[in-house]
Structure 1
């Protein structure tokens, strides 16, 4: 075998070994990804089976609702963040963009003035000062998207309502979008199983969860009342 043939043989062997190594590495990575995904699914199943007890509607809960609405009617976002958003738990902001559902985990409500997009701060700024004085009614009201008749569009009742029913499943959203971590999924399950929905018609819907013996905003839902597709 001459020098050129030796070089070619070495090059060919090196290429084969390199490709084999890449294939083995890729296979190993794929196996690891599948293992991680399987472990994640098993953890999720366990989380879904955890038993939670929903606290009763109390004077404290109602008082917190009135405090939140009072802060909103004064457009006091600082107070909302300081007193009604848990610093560690945060809250989920649910909305649509171009017809698609989106959820964001946030630690505070941002005071965004931009008029080109509808923000939480805009909805808060429109809360009527008299809202905190409304009677809190225990009833699950529903939002109707009625494209053919405006008479049936909107919530099926007017006022301030509290209910233990959810209009939207955050945990299911997380699964569908496949964009979440275990900690956020655990939060979603806790919200769904222990929280109360508060609706102030015509456009405010949020959920309160008991954390550290107090009630905090843990989810603000702008999807249910958004009929865009």
Structure 2
């Protein structure tokens, strides 16, 4: 079964925000991704609005909602409240009504997401948030490390999916020693699917390391942004997306 490819547009928004105006146009790039055959669009709005802004989420909702075969995924920290023109993560998600909300424990000082949830400390706070999102028909995925105990807690508090944090795997792959961490992810994925959780993955996946990671058992979806954007500079977005889709077609 093919792995769904969801393209993260944060870097397109970051480039746009480096100048006044709307160039590059985020929605046009989303349309290019969709026309090229991706299964989803991902954004990760943050309170500092350094890339994705609240209006981007609203415009993407208008674009994607009529498209039954395209998933809209909004990821971020569910505990982030309103700041200035940022309405708060939960308010933004509930206004946008994406197909999936990926909850991530990133702080405002982080350059990017770099660890999964510790559900021993945050599980009780997350449980009612997960219930609220699911009551609205929004699938909930939790950003997680390949820790079996933590994955069991994700199931207990009601998550539909986990997204395995692949940063350490990507680093190990680049250093030529990917198998120890990849095998941890295999065990985590098998354990999660055995519990009835679906498995997503994301962070620093690219055309090189996806040749291995695409074989993760039960992998439903990958979210790729940074590497795909860089590849698009070299080869064009439509060609780059085609390369990633070919890797995601494993098993077909």
> TM class, shorter-chain normalised?
under 0.3
Q: TM-score, normalised by structure 1?
A: 0.26
Please report the TM-score for the alignment, with normalisation by the length of structure 2: 0.24
Q: Which has the larger radius of gyration?
A: 1
